[in-house]
A and B are shown apart, each in its own frame.
Chain A
Amino acid sequence: MIEFDQVVKTFPDGTTAVDHLDLTLPDGKITVMVGPSGCGKTTSLRMINRMIDPTGGTIRIDGDDITSKDPAELRRGIGYVIQQAGLFPHRTIVDNIATVPFLLGTDRKQARAKALELMERVGLSTSFAKRYPVQLSGGQQQRVGVARALAADPPVMLMDEPFSAVDPVVRDQLQAEFLRLQQDLGKTIAFVTHDIDEAIKIGDLVAVFAEGGRLAQIAPPETLLAEPADDFVAGFVGHDRGFRGLSFTQASALPVEPVDRAVDGATLSRDDAGRPLGWTRGDGETLIDHDGTFGPDNSVRAALDVAIRSPLGVAVRVDEHGRADGVVRHETIATFLRERHQAGGGSA
């Protein structure tokens, strides 16, 4: 657990980067600090490993004041990932990853063996082990950066815009892999980004910072979208927050109609295994592509998206084997959301 207790940072030129911040980052969770530039999110992050010293207040990790430890010792116990990865250009990939174990005096052979293991864990082929950072793509370098932060198995990790410098497709991949990794590892993570979509996707908790280093709201992403604390937060999370909020409801909550129900005179034809092929009208020929499917584990947002894309306005639900087991019209989704809203349950 990382606790900020009335933390203040005023720079020598008089600007206040962080203003009496009280913030608790719970164990085993990803807390995303998000906000416009100059809101003090990066300063706050960098105060955790004493890259910046606060001018007032206390920061504690698991109850211990961080100033009670030697800074270098403290930092070796905290994983750190930055934008552009910050890899050492003169060291091979495996030695980059093993840097912290080397610093801690771990046996070289053992540290390298662990580094190779981590390469696989973050989705890098071990054939890259003897290469240099310049020989890797941006996305691959960022994976090395994550592996390096994990090498000494620190309980706490700081991530400063780790996925901002890669293109959107790679970023999506890295985010998904990172979330999978975190499910296994359960690290206590402070994650800084300026991108609210990333914050909502990645965060267990999202802390929205406003200009002047003020914490505007900290909440789980769905709460943030449904009940922004003030106009600043509402504006920052964006105007389509209602739609985005649907990401947090599982599609299994939607009522489905049977797969053989005719829609606008069309029926869903399926192959022998029950997988959907497309919509057909009376003559039996495939007329209309069903255009995507959703599963019960997907979100209502995904289901609605499929329904909107479908020319008939119907989303096909499939089970884990890809067999169609129900259809949902977008009117049904609209009714579902209206009723839920009136009942006051859920979010969005």
Chain B
Amino acid sequence: MSGIGDYLASLVDYLDVNGTLVWDALQQHVVLALVPVVIALVLSLPIGYLAVRYGWLYHPLLNLSSLLYAIPSLALFAVLPLLLGTRILDPLNIVVALSIYTLALLVRTVADGLRSVDPTITQAATAIGYRRIRRLVSVELPIALPVLFAGLRVATVSNISLVSVGALVGVGGLGQLFTRGFQLFYSVPIVVGLVLSIALALLADLLLVLAQRALTPWTRAGVSTR
């Protein structure tokens, strides 16, 4: 018991001394993980829509997405400064790299979500007077929300874990605690980083689930009067 007690005591000591550092790392982690999700979501909507609207684009676009996702993350972090002309330690590299991965995931999600909408419903919408864009915004996207949220949850959680890899090229939110721990042969910062990273992922996932529940009440409507 005293072993665990001692360890907890050293955790508290560590946070006491390095509180600001941990807090900054956590904030950076949140920004680095979530900004790419927002960017990718905004980009994936039109791309996913095009893939569905023009059937011949579906396979090329989705294959390209899979290809992007297959690039090793560390290699991408290292190559991006060359392509973007950024400094090697620029957080922008991480944001761009993670945006690419998230985009690769979300394009498929958006395309599959839109394809999940029953064509009789989209046809009925057109037949009663919806124009294309309004139909997309007020009929197809809302009906695709359950599929979109499923993809968004995977992308968000995987981003929160991927940010740490950025520490190997100097910018990595909580990942810095891992590199520091390895350098010092000291496990406390690693445990702190791990716990916070997992807590962050769980929290983000929980928020997404709550948002989905609020936005898709019809999916929980019981079949009560049949």
Bits for A82-105, please: 1 = Cβ < 8 Å to B, else 0. Answer: 101011111100000001100100
Residue A244, interface by CB 8 Å: no
- 17 further A-B pairs in the complex, CB-CB below 8 A; given A76-B129, A89-B121, A103-B130: A49-B127, A51-B123, A51-B126, A72-B130, A75-B129, A80-B124, A82-B120, A87-B124, A88-B139, A89-B143, A90-B142, A91-B218, A103-B129, A134-B221, A136-B225, A148-B128, A149-B128
- Residue among B121, B127, B216 with most chain A CB within 10 A: B127
Q: Are B127 and A75 in contact (CB under 8 A)?
A: yes
Residue A73, interface by CB 8 Å: yes
Chain B residues with CB under 8 Å of A51's CB are 123, 126-127
Closest A residue by C-beta to B142: A90
- Chain A residues numbered 46-100 whose CB sits less than 8 Å from any CB in chain B: 49, 51, 72-73, 75-76, 80, 82, 84, 86-91, 99-100
Known: A72-B129, A100-B129. A86 touches B223 (CB 8 A): no
Q: Are A72 and B127 in contact (CB under 8 A)?
A: no
Query: How close is A45's CB to chain B, nearest CB, in angstroms?
Result: 10
Q: Are B130 and A132 in contact (CB under 8 A)?
A: no
Chain B residues with CB under 8 Å of A103's CB are 128-130, 134
Q: Are A86 and B121 in contact (CB under 8 A)?
A: yes
Q: A103 CA to B134 CA in the complex, in Å?
A: 10
Q: Are B218 and A72 in contact (CB under 8 A)?
A: no
Bits for A208-223, please: 1 = Cβ < 8 Å to B, else 0. Answer: 0000000000000000
Chain A residues with CB under 8 Å of B218's CB are 89-91, 132, 134
Q: List 20 A-B contacts (CB under 8 A).
A: A72-B129, A75-B127, A75-B128, A76-B129, A80-B128, A82-B120, A82-B124, A86-B121, A87-B121, A90-B139, A90-B218, A103-B130, A103-B134, A131-B221, A132-B221, A135-B221, A135-B222, A135-B225, A136-B225, A137-B225
B contact patch SS: helix
Query: How close is B169's CB to chain A, nearest CB, in angstroms?
Result: 44
Q: A73 CA to B126 CA in the complex, in Å?
A: 11
Residues on A facing B (Cβ under 8 Å):
49, 51, 72-73, 75-76, 80, 82, 84, 86-91, 99-100, 103, 128, 131-132, 134-137, 140, 148-149, 158
A-B CB pair tally, cutoff 8 Å: 72
Chain A residues with CB under 8 Å of B126's CB are 51, 75
Query: How close is A110's CB to chain B, nearest CB, in angstroms?
Result: 18
Chain B residues with CB under 8 Å of A148's CB are 128
Residue B31, interface by CB 8 Å: no
Q: A31 CA to B127 CA in the complex, in Å?
A: 20
- Residue among A100, A134, A136 with most chain B CB within 10 A: A134
Query: How close is A209's CB to chain B, nearest CB, in angstroms?
Result: 21
Closest A residue by C-beta to B120: A86
Q: A144 CA to B130 CA in the complex, in Å?
A: 18
Known: A75-B126, A99-B128, A103-B128. A88 touches B121 (CB 8 A): yes
